[in-house]
Amino acid sequence: RTTSREEFPAHPVSPANYGNGVRKAYAPSPVKFEGKTTMREEYPAHPVSPTPTVAKKPYRMYEAKFDDRTTSREEFPAHPVSPANYGNGVRKAYAPSPVKFEGKTTMREEYPAHPVSPTPTVAKKPYRMYEAKFDDRTTSREE
């Protein structure tokens, strides 16, 4: 049993009372309505005509030939791009400096290495099956 079930007991609920206690099945009125409803008076039906259909013209291929020239191509000609010039025009392959650096860089001074230790490991407990037997009965099924 839960504390919720004990603190909030179910209250008896009786069906709604309809006059003499019996609710009749719905039946439409046999008297025909001859008048005009307020909805019909305030919202008169407007005539709706179908939209006119438009005859489709047959597809015609564009007849002008494209000669591979556009105004954009004429106004913005492609400029020749030359390779970067490195002094005499020959770029050397990268080679690190043979002189060993003995000092300390500003990066090394401003960002010292902090010691990092591994997190301690926690021994896992072996899995244990829940030992209580379930007798196929619950408070929900009883109530």
What pLDDT score does 78 carry? Answer: 86
* CA gap 115, 104 in Å, rounded: 19
pLDDT tens digit sequence for 65-119: 777 778 888 888 888 877 666 666 677 788 888 888 888 888 888 888 889 999 9
C-alpha to C-alpha distances, 103 to 98, 99, 111, 114, nearest whole angstrom:
15, 12, 15, 20
pLDDT tens digit sequence for 6-65: 888 888 887 776 666 667 788 888 888 888 889 988 998 899 999 999 888 888 888 777
Question: Which residues are CB-neighbours of 141 under 8 A, at least 6 positions away?
Answer: none
